[in-house]
Structure 1
Amino acid sequence: MVPIPAPDHLTNSLVNPQQLLDLQNREGEDGPSLRFALAQLTSAAGILLRLPQEVIAQATVLLLRFLLSSRAEDREGFSAKTYSAAAIYLSAKISMTPASPRSVINVYAFLASKASPLSFVNPEGSGGDQDPNTYFVSEGTYEKERQRLFVCESMILAGLGFETHVALPHGLALTYLQALGVSTSSLAKRVFEHLNGGLLSPQLLYLTHQPNALAVGAIYLAAREIAVKLVEQNWWEVFDVDREDLGFLVLAFGSLENFAAAEREKWIGRAMPFD
């Protein structure tokens, strides 16, 4: 079978093994946990801001690229939470659904408070009757946070060389499902669940694999999980994905649930030091 090459606008610049090794050496043992928490924080903020999933995904990828390309000393003076907020603000600003600085700051104040539903912020669970004053942003605090947001946004842009293009696999996945003749709603839903979960993966799947490979891996795993029969032979080769990459991605998507469960256990009784 002859593979179908992806156009340039459907591909991303990928990281190399040396960059991943350097990141691992810089981060320490809590690095994957911090990245996992930041991806969850970014996703939760995007949901509360009612941003489309593609904007949330782009913000997460831009944030991960920045963390990979910058050193901890370069990010001193600003919390990881502020960089997450800057990534969401930047991604929304260059989309069709911009978010105001005030909205972003208010949402992050809530997510970092005792009322936050995020388990790594409130390991014992959030209280439903929390006083709104605990996450109220005064005018003075807003002005300070707004300036910090703008500085972090500029640092992300400079760290990325002002390259904000992110090709996502979601649209490709739908196209591939139609080409395979198996575009059922239940299968598509499960495929999207894996693709969205991949944004949280400690393996940095969106930085190491092209969108076509991510789409094929999610389709293959989802079809197996809900017992949907796909075409015979090595259909993934038509979409320019080899067996080795497919196997890795299937394992990576499938292992995320266990990783997330381990992370929940890890932070019981203590909050993630991401602030």
Structure 2
Amino acid sequence: MAPISAVEHLRNPIVTAEQLMKLKASDDDQIASVRFAQFQLTSSAGILLRLTQDIIARAIVLLQRFLVSSRSEDRKGFGHKTYSAASIYLAAKTSPTPVSARSVINVYAYLTSKASLLKFVQPASDRGSTGPTEYYVSEGSYERERQQLFICESMILAGIGFDTQVALPYTLSLTYMQALGVSSSKLAQRVFEHLNAGLLSPQLLYLTHQPNALAVGAIYLAARESGVKLVEQNWWEVFDVDREDLGFLVLSYGSIANFATAEREKWKSKPLILD
């Protein structure tokens, strides 16, 4: 059987080795924690803004593309929070469900306040009793943050070459499971959990692999975890994925939970500040 290749509109630009090396060269000891928190902040903001998962995923991927295509010194004028907010604002703007700048700013004010439920911002033991005054945005603050939001949005657009198209693996994974004759809702849920976790990976999986490979890796690991038997032989090759990429993705998906647990342990003693 000939491989089912991903068609052009289901492909993404892949990060180069030079870009990855350049990004790692600018890293400090805490940057992996900061990026993990930044991507989690972006996801949480999208949920509070009632955006769909594909919009949230696009926002995180656009933010990751900007990080690898820009220099660290060029990003120093604004905080990690503002770039996260700009990526959500941009992804929603180019979708059927745009959100206002005020909504984005209000949500981020809440998520980075003492009332936040995010553990890297405010440990549960320190949360205590908080009210709306903790995340109230005055008109002066709103105008200032709105201008920063628009500037960061333009910087992200320029950094990614104004290419906001992002192909995602969610629909592909369902198509592949149907082709494999698998109709388990529990398996599909576990596949989506791995795909969502992959967005937070410090290895930037959505920049290093195409959607078809991401989908196949998630299906393989979810099936192994769930005890679901798939077809015999190298079925992943039918979807244009080789064994090396599959092995890397399975290991990467499987390691994200341990990485997240380790990060949460760090946050208990020293919360992050995403200014």
**1:152 lines up with 2:178 in the alignment:** no
Aligned-pair distance for 1:188? 0.4
Separation in structure 1 between the aligned mates of residue 23 and residue 75 of structure 2, nearest angstrom = 14
Separation in structure 2 between the aligned mates of residue 250 and residue 257 of structure 1, nearest angstrom = 13
Which residue is equivalent to 2:98? 98
SS state at 2:115 partner: coil
The Cα RMSD (Å) is: 1.0
Q: How many residues get paired?
A: 275
Cα deviation 1:163-199 (Å, max 9, x = unaligned): 1111000000000000001021101000000000000
Separation in structure 1 between the aligned mates of residue 30 and residue 8 of structure 2, nearest angstrom = 35
1:115–1:126 contact (8 Å) kept in structure 2: no
AA partner of residue 170 (structure 1): Y
Which residue is equivalent to 2:10? 10
1:61–1:199 contact (8 Å) kept in structure 2: yes
Which residue is equivalent to 2:72? 72
SS state at 1:27 partner: coil
AA partner of residue 47 (structure 1): I
SS state at 2:203 partner: coil
Which residue is equivalent to 2:263? 263
Aligned-pair distance for 1:93? 0.4
Which residue is equivalent to 1:50? 50
**Long gaps (5+) in structure 2:** none
SS state at 2:233 partner: coil
Which residue is equivalent to 1:198? 198
Cα deviation 1:196-218 (Å, max 9, x = unaligned): 00000111100000000000000
Which residue is equivalent to 1:218? 218
Cα deviation 1:20-59 (Å, max 9, x = unaligned): 1111110222221111001100000000000000000000
1:24–1:31 contact (8 Å) kept in structure 2: no
AA partner of residue 230 (structure 1): L
1:109–1:137 contact (8 Å) kept in structure 2: yes
Separation in structure 2 between the aligned mates of residue 126 and residue 84 of structure 1, nearest angstrom = 25
SS state at 1:40 partner: helix
**Long gaps (5+) in structure 1:** none
Aligned-pair distance for 1:274? 2.2
Separation in structure 1 between the aligned mates of residue 28 and residue 172 of structure 2, nearest angstrom = 35
1:82-231 paired onto structure 2 within 5 Å = 82-125=82-125, 127=127, 129-231=129-231
The TM-score, its normalising length taken from structure 2, stands at 0.98
Separation in structure 1 between the aligned mates of residue 118 and residue 125 of structure 2, nearest angstrom = 8
Aligned-pair distance for 1:98? 0.5
Which residue is equivalent to 1:238? 238
Separation in structure 2 between the aligned mates of residue 131 and residue 274 of structure 1, nearest angstrom = 21
Separation in structure 1 between the aligned mates of residue 125 and residue 55 of structure 2, nearest angstrom = 28
1:4–1:239 contact (8 Å) kept in structure 2: yes
AA partner of residue 85 (structure 1): A
AA partner of residue 92 (structure 1): A
2:117–2:124 contact (8 Å) kept in structure 1: no
Separation in structure 2 between the aligned mates of residue 18 and residue 86 of structure 1, nearest angstrom = 26
AA partner of residue 160 (structure 1): I
